[in-house]
Amino acid sequence: MNSVTEKETERAGYGLVEAQSYTFAEPPNEFRLASQETLGPITLVYETYGRINSDGSNVILVEHALSGDAHVAGRHDPSDPKPGWWDMMVGPGKALDTDKYFVICANCIGGCSGSTGPASINPATGREYGLDFPVITIADMVEAERYLLDHLGIQQVLCVIGGSMGGMKALHWAVSYPDRVRLAVPIATTSRLSAQGIAFNEVGRQAIFADPAWNGGQYYGKENPSSGLAIARMIGHITYLSENTMHRKFGRKRVENGEDANGPDFEVESYLRYQGDKFVRRFDANSYLYITKAMDYFDMTQPSGSLTRELAGVKAKFLVISFSSDWLFPTYQSKEIVKALRQNGAHVTFAEIQTDYGHDAFLLESRQLSSLITNFLTYAVE
């Protein structure tokens, strides 16, 4: 089950890792989505780290955020310039200690890093799905992962953990499969996206729609809607940072030779353009549309209208973490989750980390975050 090479490279920290894949829902046994549409076959790309123990009690399921993927730690090749997106947390001696735990991370359905999504081939037409891909939800992402865990023979996870959209999936796991989750760690997340969050997602989608190359979603094999997707990423990236971080990093610093009507004058402009250009090299515009919509639809207060009632059946112990400068998913939204859990008598620990890093702090605040998670994993299971 474990795909890690025995020899770990010093540069990678964790070591080398291979992406694996699992295909299911082959016709006529397609996967039924929350929308009642069907989808199949479905491939999930995933990676594993560490070794599963004899009774399978050391499994940690890591959930990625909107733009993340299965590559959470290590490197695929020694020459890779950067390790996985949460390498600071996953590996020997780290918070998710791979000498103790067996860590799994899967790229969600609707994604574009190997899992079935809009860029995948539609078996009914022999060409990419594009907008023929059905609407997906956070619930669908979780259910697809449930198929993967069944395939791997894992009946219960020690912990499910994730930040941002990954926190939504962690919360959904604990509600949908209470007997399969012992611990849950939703980080910098919410029980339902606010109007502001939906608004930012919509502006990003409109930027993609306005790109002439988008072509109604049928741009595969042609020019990609790179400009629209880059703008969407720039908008999103602003929401991931705090004002203090932007001031400290950039202030009003000017770029050299920046007096160009079409070029950036300020360093913050140059930074955002760099982030947009980098993003379009690895992400699919249609996946961005579908995944942001899945986040918009996420609402753990439904169907009853009460978060307390919807969380009544959870059995997991929770560690809920927020960040003081996160204005995209502010602390009060985490406290709403904590309050609903406590009203149900659930075991819940809450921590707000004081930081200027904004929403992206779950990818940056390694020391405080690591300490909280390490202690929770150590003592909550006792």
Known catalytic residues are 164, 326, 359
DSSP state letter for 56: S
Give the DSSP H or E segment for 198: helix 195-210
How far apart CA 285 and CA 230 sit, in angstroms, is 9
How far apart CA 215 and CA 83 sit, in angstroms, is 34
β-pairing, 181-187 vs 20-24, is: unpaired
- Centroid of chain to Cα 244: 25
Q: Is the Cα torsion angle 217, 218, 221, 222 positive or negative in sign?
A: negative
| Token output for 360 | 């992206």
Comparing C-alpha atoms, which of 158, 156, 190 is closest to residue 172? 190
How far apart CA 376 and CA 351 sit, in angstroms, is 11
Inter-residue contact 134 to 37 (CB < 8 Å)? yes
- Point out which residues pair with 254 in neighbouring strands: 266
